[in-house]
Amino acid sequence: MPTVDPLGFPMNASLASKSEEDGFAGGTGHTAVDKAMVVLASLITSEVPLSLTQLSQHTRLAKATVHRVLAALQAHGMIVRAGDKYSPGGMVQPDRSPEDGFVASLRQHATPYLVDLHQMTGHTASISVLAGESAQLVNQIFGHRTPRLPNVVSVTSRFPRTAIGQILHAYQVGRDIGLCAAPDTDRLSEIRRTGLAQVDDVVQKVTTIAVPLTGVQRPAALAVTGHFKQVNPLIAARALRRAAFEFGRTLMAYRVIANPLERTASH
């Protein structure tokens, strides 16, 4: 009978022989569950996929431990691997179906603008919306060597760490930024004034620049994400603002056409 860990994951001989030192054998398995949840949470809340080394730094777990946790999570479809990077899998973040009309409309119309952004900048282009207390990725265009973004990122903090989260936070309707601490209020006000957020993530070694998509029913952000020292902020900002303006006009034209049709169909 194959050896299994406390999470119910099958373990090969090498994993089983090393499981004791990491808390994957014996006892109640509480330590093993904790470690798996810590690794999974790091992937879910990250704006880009993470490598083994980055996960070890984020979780403060040994690389060998993280490697065994990743192997178990991947075997059960909870995470996916692309190259040396990991991101949440479909079991953790399944596509929402049916998705609401706003997200469906963005997904339907965003692709040409994201393709243009990707071609103009050479980096990952994405569009995200505020969904509760999370930034929900609607669509992204990326290349073989550009970062890939996770489906959902938490934006619960008063001043999110990601550029996308900062844009969604700053443009949240009815949000009183005066309730934030003074430094956070100043930064959110500056983001509203400039219509731009930029974050250099030293851990993940990526730069993200984001702008708001205006004239929509809830906060949405267009963003460009690339590796350190490869993103030209001026080019990225100019391309993002142009794409946001043109995409906003497309959505407005779509609503002008769609609304009368919806009213006609309802009668």
Cα 30 to Cα 24: distance, rounded to the nearest angstrom: 9
For residues 200 and 231, the answer to whether their CB atoms sit within 8 Å is: no
Cα 212 to Cα 166: distance, rounded to the nearest angstrom: 10
pLDDT tens, residue by residue, 219-245: 999 999 999 999 999 999 999 999 999
**CA quadruple 226, 229, 232, 236: dihedral, nearest 10:** 20
DSSP 8-class letter at 202: T
Name the residue among 181, 179, 154 with its Cα closest to residue 168.
154
Cα 114 to Cα 140: distance, rounded to the nearest angstrom: 7
The domain ranges of the chain are 3-88, 101-266
End-to-end CA distance of the chain: 65
pLDDT tens, residue by residue, 38-63: 888 888 877 678 899 999 998 889 99
Which pTM value belongs to this model? 0.59
CATH number belonging to domain 3-88: 1.10.10.10
For domain 101-266, give the CATH superfamily: GAF domain (3.30.450.40)
